[in-house]
Structure 1
């Protein structure tokens, strides 16, 4: 007879996400995909809408994105973009059958996180160099 003391479907209390990096990165990958869509869409709509309304509106939009808070939001969006990109490449590597062992998943997780930092810094260094 089956035991009813345990949950029928494993859930967060069973997986202990704070101890394992793979499920945490998997959930974060989904969240970053949604953030990219929502925030990116709002940014583009605001920016293009301001451009369509004329030079004064566009200058205001540029000032918003160029303000310290705007730069912080754009930096956060860049981190989210690079995270989603790097983790997507990681998933493509898995689709080839490579690095699917427990150790491979752990190794690629840390490599992916390091690449997020490197790609974000590189993107902002290039962007700031071009802007100045």
Structure 2
């Protein structure tokens, strides 16, 4: 019988910074989803969309505003926010979150729409 791995420690060496967000993907070897820890002080300053993945965030700490197809939606700690494929997304605020993408993130399916200017954020003066 193959040994199962149940615990996945925080992978400090995998963190990278993208458009204002510190992103740490866990290597769970899951075929159906990705599990990612995200932390931001101001927001994600890229508008993007995926052809195939649903992006689901759990807000661990903080608050902010997600912008989906130009609709602004406020979130706070313990909220779950889920965006199906083919919807433009970016967000503002100071938050710590878990992101699950289903099916797993694939760079070829994610599309950059535009860089988002910090002046658009309601949280930056």
**TM-score (norm: length of structure 1):** 0.23
Higher helix share: 1
Higher strand share: 2
**TM-score (norm: length of structure 2):** 0.24
